[in-house]
Amino acid sequence: MADPIIEAEGLGIRFVRNRRRQLRLRELFIHRGGRSASSGQFWPLRDVSFTVRPGETVGVIGRNGTGKSTLLRLIAGVLIPDEGSIRVHGDVAPLLELSAGFSNDLTGRENLHLVGGLHGLSPGYLRRHFDDIVSFAGEQVERAIDTSVRHYSSGMKVRLGFAIISHLPHPILLMDEVTAVGDAEFRKKCYATIDRLLGEGRTLVLVSHNQKDLTRFCRRGLFLDGGRLRLDGTIAEALDAYQSAVPR
Ligand SMILES: Nc1ncnc2c1ncn2[C@@H]1O[C@H](COP(=O)(O)OP(=O)(O)OP(=O)(O)O)[C@@H](O)[C@H]1O
């Protein structure tokens, strides 16, 4: 069996909730019932261990706020764990926040080179694939490729972002609700692209609330609840566990 491409061991991260109000003066002096300097800290994800082998397709399932996106961001290396470890043996194509990294003052063309470069693509690779990427992003983006992205609709930015990231040759794909954004035509392109990338043997970790997407693309499922990994099994088992846990 091939060595794991992703290894999480006792993985945990701690966040601090945003304070919505200024502390009142007397609260600064009075410590009440354990609400001390650590007040507001919580673990959105804790004690999570699993491995993924090359070519596996893994769906991450759970209610809102149970740490699914946090897990993807830890795999992507955008977040650093406070406990345990996450080891990733290969480059990651993060289809997460698709317009992340775009600079509003630059044109679509300039952003393509900027974001592609940030993901490690060489200027030569980007020049060779430029037409493909832009035509994939669709007619509207093609027409506006020399316009500042400030004037793009959010859908146009997402299309360009998806076009760039899905052209990365990286072996690991991370996707967070990608098929939930964009119109029907964009979704069709997304599905065809994901099928093609999986056909090439890429490894997928997909976060989605869409059962059809999860069963279509994933064979394995991780069910998270309250930041803990409750089940690591087939996608059908993970969906069953999720459905049994959801109050009716
Ligand atoms: N940067 C942050 N600082 C503080 N809390 C955060 C931060 N990012 C996320 N959270 C909180 O961490 C918890 C887990 O968030 P996360 O986005 O991982 O959940 P999720 O399972 O992906 O949810 P959803 O299904 O709604 O997308 C939530 O309570 C969220 O409010």
Q: From its phi and psi, is residue 53 left (phi > 0), alpha (psi between -120 and 50) or beta?
A: beta
CB half-sphere exposure, 105, CA atoms < 13 A: 0
Instruction: Determine the pLDDT at residue 246.
Output: 80
Q: Say if residue 238's pLDDT is above 70.
A: yes
Instruction: Determine the pLDDT at residue 34.
Output: 42
Distance 136 CA to ligand 1 centre (A): 31
DSSP 157-184: HHHHHHHHHHT---SEEEEESGGGSS-H
ipTM of this predicted structure = 0.95
- Which residues, judged by CB distance below 6 Å to any ligand atom, belong to the binding site of ligand 1? 15, 17, 44, 62, 64-70
Question: Tokens 């990994």, residue?
Answer: 229
Residue 175, token pair as written in the block:
């996707």
Domain 1-16+40-90+206-247: CATH class, spelled out: alpha beta
What is the best residue among 68, 210, 242 to mutate for testing ligand 1's pocket, by most ligand atoms within 8 Å of CB? Answer: 68
Instruction: Determine the pLDDT at residue 96.
Output: 84
Ligand 1 nearest atom to the CA of residue 15, by list position: 4
**Pairwise pLDDT comparison (206 vs 247), residue with the higher score:** 206
Q: How, if at all, do strands 83-88 and 57-61 pair?
A: unpaired
**Pairwise pLDDT comparison (35 vs 144), residue with the higher score:** 144
Strand order in the sheet with 92-95: 92-95, 172-176, 203-207, 57-61, 220-225, 228-234
What is the rounded CA–CA span in Å between residue 133 and residue 113? 11
pLDDT digits (tens, 9 = 90+) for 209-236: 999 999 999 999 999 999 999 999 999 9
Q: Is 50 helix (H, G, I), strand (E, B) or coil?
A: strand
Instruction: Determine the pLDDT at residue 143.
Output: 97
Q: Which helix (H) or strand (E) holds 13?
A: strand 6-16
CB 174 within 8 A of CB 92: yes
What is the rounded CA–CA span in Å between residue 28 and residue 109? 51
Distance 234 CA to ligand 1 centre (A): 25
Instruction: Determine the pLDDT at residue 184.
Output: 85
Q: How, if at all, do strands 83-88 and 228-234 pair?
A: unpaired
Domain layout of the chain by residue ranges: 1-16+40-90+206-247
What is the rounded CA–CA span in Å between residue 140 and residue 163? 13
pLDDT digits (tens, 9 = 90+) for 92-101: 998 887 777 7
Instruction: Determine the pLDDT at residue 35.
Output: 46
pLDDT digits (tens, 9 = 90+) for 173-212: 999 987 777 788 888 888 999 999 999 999 999 999 999 9
Q: What is the dihedral of CA 210, 92, 55, 215, to 10 degrees?
A: 0
DSSP-assigned beta bridge partners for residue 5:
none
Instruction: Determine the pLDDT at residue 81.
Output: 97
What is the rounded CA–CA span in Å between residue 7 and residue 155? 34
pLDDT digits (tens, 9 = 90+) for 99-138: 777 899 999 999 999 999 988 899 999 999 999 999 999 9
**Rg from Cα positions in the chain:** 20
User: Residue 22, Cα to own-chain centre: how many angstroms?
Assistant: 33
User: For residue 27, which of 19, 18, 36 has the smallest C-alpha distance?
Assistant: 36
pLDDT digits (tens, 9 = 90+) for 8-56: 999 999 998 865 545 555 555 555 444 444 568 899 999 999 999 999 9
Residue closest via CA to ligand 1's atom 28 equals: 65
Instruction: Determine the pLDDT at residue 199.
Output: 95
